[in-house]
Amino acid sequence: MDEELVTLGDPSLSFSRSLILGKGNYGVVFSGKYHGKDVAVKRIELERMNQREEALFHLDHEHVVKLYNWRDNKDFRFYVLELCAANLDEYCKGCYTGPIPSEAEVLYQLATGLEYIHLKRLHRDIKPKNILISKPDPIVRIKWADFGSSKLVNDNGSCSMSGVRGTKDWTAPEHIRLLGASCRGSKPSDIFSAGLVFFYFLKKVHPFGEDSEIESNIKNNQPVNIDDLAHHFAKPVVIKMIAHEAKDRITLEEIIRELKPFLPPNPPGDVDNQHAA
């Protein structure tokens, strides 16, 4: 095993190419150690890098995955990240059955984390695979991830979507309509995508139907599964998040305010309020 360890010239960092935690469009994630701590090491091709690393490095929020450091070689950038237990997609598909906060806490934590990201003028590729469930330490928290495709927004709160490989199943209708044209990410488009994630977490299905019809249904404003929420406390919030027109969508401040009454009496994320899936 020793001969497989990679250090990138940093004695405080090591990982093995044989210990793969996951793969995606943007790279491969390995299991590693950083200053003796278990970490995830995400490898991304340098030619795909286009964001300001300084902004990512200074993110510090309990609902955003911590970036400890990064290293480069001639071909790749390696992000040294907080190691989590699973992603939200794995939970929704039943692959993760460990502890997770209550429904209200998960939605609230996602909203507060995204609000922080927006305050830092960043845009994320929002989808269930880019939302992580922390290891109990001792509290389990939900965290936004996706280092390598974050983009800085301009003074108008928008950013170019070029180079961001968002999955169309989790994309706002204004982005689908402008596919291949000049399209800009924005707070309302992030809120639409987050609303899709909220619904998927709660009901384990996409609000706009099966894979083959999602894109068309989003474009045509047909959330065919929305009634699955029935009288769920989050239905009014989700409906306002996935409003077809960006101008009609609820803000993150309003989302947080509407979710607060449904939080358990103990602080959000309190281990006593958590349960196994």
Nearest to 259 by CA among 228, 231, 240, 233: 233
Provide the whole-model pTM: 0.85
What are the pLDDT digits (tens) for 194-242? 999 999 999 999 999 999 999 999 999 999 999 999 999 999 999 999 9
List the domain boundaries for the chain: 2-82, 84-271
The active-site residue, picked from 38, 125, 211, 272, is: 125
Q: Which CATH architecture has domain 2-82?
A: 2-Layer Sandwich (3.30)
Q: Which CATH superfamily is domain 84-271 in?
A: Transferase(Phosphotransferase) domain 1 (1.10.510.10)
125 catalytic, yes or no? Answer: yes
What are the pLDDT digits (tens) for 84-110? 999 999 999 999 999 999 999 999 999
What are the pLDDT digits (tens) for 20-32? 998 877 789 999 9
Strand partners, 274: none
More confident residue, 94 or 71: 94
Q: What is the pLDDT of residue 164?
A: 42
